[in-house]
Structure 1
């Protein structure tokens, strides 16, 4: 009798596990070899060489025109960087880090007597409040939660990302 109850309990747990959704998706498709953000179009493209694998609508920093120069300017950086980290416990569902600032960004900010800022990510929606309007981040690139789940699964650390106006 105990063995039967254990078997039924285990089957129920496996069934529930199959119904639950995880934000950690699996991806077995073509390698993402690059990413492009077109700030003017408000679009993020995932590329396999020259082929577009996926594209997403994005929100940017609250001051979206121009290149990020200093901490607190609300701008999203422009240039070529790479994905350098990931945060499964992000305040914005999930996030992948962008290697901003680079040496040039630091030198430009230093010439202005300022700090360049940092912690630039591609991330999902806020966990604790609702984003208001377009271009609401402090300089990051935001997508919907389901989309950051795809990006998180598809993109590897070291993937280059070009961000341009």
Structure 2
């Protein structure tokens, strides 16, 4: 019968303890069907990841702190409406992880300029992070115009999306 030496037992216990001390990674792997479109229905507070017409995942979302209507200018607290594209990924976001939306487009810029304002930018799908963990339980729409999901959900979204995927944001 095999009897492990003290050294083998000690190294085994160290390995177990080392594995327990690491925080889980926020970066997930995804090997399912490609996401071909993101749809956000602001009125429903829902985000859908689709492969063609098949919904792969659906999430409840929080929006800008002024959720009704299309974003018109920087600082209005509104989430844009229209067709945009996923254009960047931020692994060091203050909101856990974030995925960039290509707002503003030419029409958005022209509208803001007609109002004598700047269109703003930095619209993301992002997690809650510390701000959301403080605000979201008491207030559903708390962002400055972004689309927020829980931190564990943005990990899935971040893994599933690729640059260039269209995002349709409906009223």
Q: Structure 2 length normalisation: TM-score?
A: 0.87
Partner of 1:76: 79
- Mark the runs of 5 or more structure 2 residues left unpaired by the alignment: 1-6
Q: Choose from 60, 66, 71 the match for 2:63.
A: 60
What SS does the aligned partner of 1:75 have?
A: coil
Q: Choose from 150, 155, 163 the match for 1:144.
A: 150
The Cα offsets for residues 33-75 of structure 1, whole Å up to 9 and x where unpaired, read as 0000000000000000000000000000000000000000000
What SS does the aligned partner of 2:38 have?
A: strand
1:99 paired with 2:102, answer yes
User: How far off its partner does 1:10 sit?
Assistant: 10
Larger Rg: 2
Tell me the C-alpha RMSD between the 2 structures: 2.1
Q: Structure 1 length normalisation: TM-score?
A: 0.90
Aligned residues: 161
- Mark the runs of 5 or more structure 1 residues left unpaired by the alignment: none
Structure 1: which 4+ aligned runs deviate by more than 3 Å?
17-20
User: How far off its partner does 1:127 sit?
Assistant: 2.7
User: How far off its partner does 1:11 sit?
Assistant: 6.9
What SS does the aligned partner of 2:130 have?
A: coil
The Cα offsets for residues 66-103 of structure 1, whole Å up to 9 and x where unpaired, read as 00000000000000000100111101010000000011
